[in-house]
């Protein structure tokens, strides 16, 4: 989060300064939108708070609270077939 380090960008190509990247083992895996980067930062903050014994972390998952979980599009068709008994 805001760190400076040498990152291999072979998988994502050259990116302009300030681009949000998902990095694993000093290799950029994915270019992120600012919104997705924020969600990841919130999830990491929630994990750190949980490890410290905090349980009030719902505010860090505002995009998930009080919404019905949804299957990814590619699984929705399979789910419909199962509920129809196919």
Cα separation, 41 vs 3, whole angstroms: 13
Strand partners, 69: none
Please state whether beta strands 20-24 and 27-32 pair in parallel, antiparallel, or not at all (unpaired): antiparallel
84 pLDDT higher than 70: no
In eight-state DSSP terms, residue 19 is -
Task: Answer yes or no: are the C-beta atoms of 15 and 37 closer than 8 Å.
Answer: no
Residue 79 has what pLDDT? Answer: 61
- The per-residue pLDDT for range 19-40, each reduced to its tens digit, is 999 999 999 999 999 999 999 9
Left, alpha or beta for 6 (phi > 0: left; psi -120 to 50: alpha)? beta
Residue 40: per-residue pLDDT: 92
Please state the pTM of the whole predicted model: 0.66
Per-chain mean pLDDT for the chain: 86
What residue spans define the domains of the chain?
Answer: 1-32, 35-83
Question: What is residue 1's predicted lDDT score, i.e. its pLDDT?
Answer: 54
């Amino acid at each position: 989060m805001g760190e400076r380090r040498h990152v291999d960008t072979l998988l994502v190509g050259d990116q302009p300064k300030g681009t949000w990247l998902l990095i694993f083992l000093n290799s950029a895996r994915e270019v992120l939108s600012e919104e997705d980067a924020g969600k990841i930062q919130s999830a990491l903050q929630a994990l750190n708070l949980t490890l410290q014994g905090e349980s009030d972390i719902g505010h860090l998952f505002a995009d998930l609270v009080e919404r019905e979980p949804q299957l990814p599009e590619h699984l929705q068709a399979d789910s419909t077939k199962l509920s129809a008994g196919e």
